[in-house]
Structure 1
């Protein structure tokens, strides 16, 4: 539709350079609330599908700016990008903004090329679980907690019980398994350009320049300059975004909780999500 409308304009008013679809993949991954849809396959699918459907586009550009989050949603978004690239025979250029770390870097691996700013933060190839323990809190405030389960491991890592060595070992084994999946994705996507350095998979993160030297990215640059250099000075980036819902927020599957109670619950969840999101960004000095 966009191409048809542009063709109706007089030649002096239209840009005859190639249109390069751009999709911004922004924020913590999988941290969804009724008012904060977050970055997930559900919220990313529509703009990705629209971007890859632009037939004359020589490539699709993705802007990644994420400190990580759900490994499942990260891998699902990665796979969706690769599937669309194959189906539509498009090259994928990934541009890292402030940070592509942990799950954010996993998504960036979907690019045929990864380009970052020299000051971008890249890496954090690892798995983390964090929380709080309150084993003595209920006693102090005089509350008795009652939990009934079928299955002896249903309350594993309960924050209101003392930590158990078996529970910790079980969690660490899960983390190691997910970490191995992540490592294999990096090795498969980055191939021969990846440096032979065990620190790459330690969970550390680097600036764009250091990440290039390690083979985690391909080059340094920015979206507009790179696209014009590759596809000509008349190349036109065009942003494809998810539709906006209530309050102008990007909406995903399920939309906004209905009714007054849904709105109140959504605000409460939104505040908790905002605190969690802030802690993720602050880990990288942002």
Structure 2
């Protein structure tokens, strides 16, 4: 019995040591992977292959049951042969590239603070690392605009493509207004859906003031600044006409910079006629020169697939659990702000 007890104790120690070593190894691997991918992960999707597979499936669906069986059998044989050939090429160290130029497809669905620019800059950097002279970029854009510095940076990221002589097309299915249009105008070509919202080249700001409410309740607020215009308008103090005038002056200066930027990107545009803060639908926007063609991004992509290998590029950021929670709350607030904008700034159908 003592032998069995000692042997069992020995096995327990061995198991404990093995489990401890495995746990340490797992932690080390996880930490290494986390460090490797802490910025995020670049994901590529062959959109040409996806479309071709969908097309073949639709064609097969129109066949009778016997023909479908033969078709699926032929597809399996075809894929098996392709896999065998790819394996043989890999063993020989050969690489296969398409004869067609590549169209890189990016997506930007902008929020009020334009935080999506973090992913956009990674995607553009990745594309510029492998771009060839005949390749192009298509950006599917959706944004009602937001903060000036956020969308200014997003537009600057797109300018990197322009400065490297990469042809850029922007497709707008829903909305590219204000900061969204600031991004779109960088493109060599803008394509908009017939009823997409385009334009809104203007600047807006509003500040609530609670001074009278506080005064009625005998609450004083002291605001101390160094610099005459460090604070032009305030939430709780008494605003002055001088402060209001300076605030309007800053807005007009920002609007002037916005107009100048759009005019530099699209010199043929009558900037004074369209920089009124108004927005137009895609069909109207084409007449005014704000966009070049009227079409959906789907038709545009299908047309380009005939002569291009189409690759979707997406940078997915890794988020901690707390970041996911706060990000979800921020997105909900952002959607609420977008609804308010939609109700106040454009007609509902």
Q: Same fold (TM over 0.5)?
A: yes
How many Å separate the matches in 2 of 1:171 and 1:165? 10
How far is the alpha carbon of 1:139 from its aligned partner?
4.0
Match of 1:239 among 308, 312, 318: 312
How far is the alpha carbon of 1:135 from its aligned partner?
1.4
How many Å separate the matches in 1 of 2:156 and 2:329? 33
Match of 1:68 among 141, 145, 165: 145
SS at match of 2:208: coil
Q: Which protein shows a greater Rg?
A: 2
Q: Is the 8 A contact 1:135 1:159 kept in 2?
A: yes
Runs of at least 5 residues in structure 1 that lack an aligned partner in the other structure: 32-37, 249-254, 258-262
SS at match of 1:246: coil
Summarize deviations over 1:142-177 as a string: whole Å, max 9, x none.
644343333454442101133321111111111111
Summarize deviations over 1:15-70 as a string: whole Å, max 9, x none.
95554211111123425xxxxxx333x34211222234343562100111111112
SS at match of 1:241: strand
TM-score normalised by L of structure 1: 0.76
Q: Is the 8 A contact 1:49 1:84 kept in 2?
A: no
- CA, structure 1 residues 112+268, in 2 after alignment: closer, same or farther (shift >3 Å)? closer
Q: Is the 8 A contact 1:93 1:113 kept in 2?
A: yes
Q: Is the 8 A contact 1:21 1:52 kept in 2?
A: no
Q: Is the 8 A contact 2:174 2:197 kept in 1?
A: yes
Q: Is the 8 A contact 1:52 1:85 kept in 2?
A: no
Q: Which residue number corresponds to residue 260 of structure 1?
A: none
How many Å separate the matches in 1 of 2:193 and 2:185? 16
Q: Which residue number corresponds to residue 211 of structure 2?
A: 135
Summarize deviations over 1:181-237 as a string: whole Å, max 9, x none.
111222222222x2x47431111000000000000000011223223324516x454
Aligned residues: 261
Kindly indicate which of the two structures has a greater share of residues assigned to helix.
2
- CA, structure 1 residues 50+284, in 2 after alignment: closer, same or farther (shift >3 Å)? farther
Runs of at least 5 residues in structure 2 that lack an aligned partner in the other structure: 1-42, 50-80, 87-95
Q: Is the 8 A contact 2:122 2:315 kept in 1?
A: yes
Q: Is structure 2 residue 301 aligned with structure 1 residue 227? A: yes
- My pick for the range that moved more, 12-21 or 100-109, is 12-21
SS at match of 2:190: strand
How many Å separate the matches in 1 of 2:330 and 2:228? 30
- CA, structure 1 residues 162+2, in 2 after alignment: closer, same or farther (shift >3 Å)? closer
TM alignment of 1:162-177, pairs within 5 A:
162-177=238-253
Match of 2:255 among 155, 162, 179: 179
Determine which structure has greater relative contact order: mean sequence separation of CA pairs < 8 Å that are 6+ residues apart, divided by chain length. Answer: 1
- CA, structure 1 residues 268+61, in 2 after alignment: closer, same or farther (shift >3 Å)? closer
How many Å separate the matches in 1 of 2:265 and 2:333? 35
TM-score normalised by L of structure 2: 0.63
Q: Which residue number corresponds to residue 27 of structure 1?
A: 110
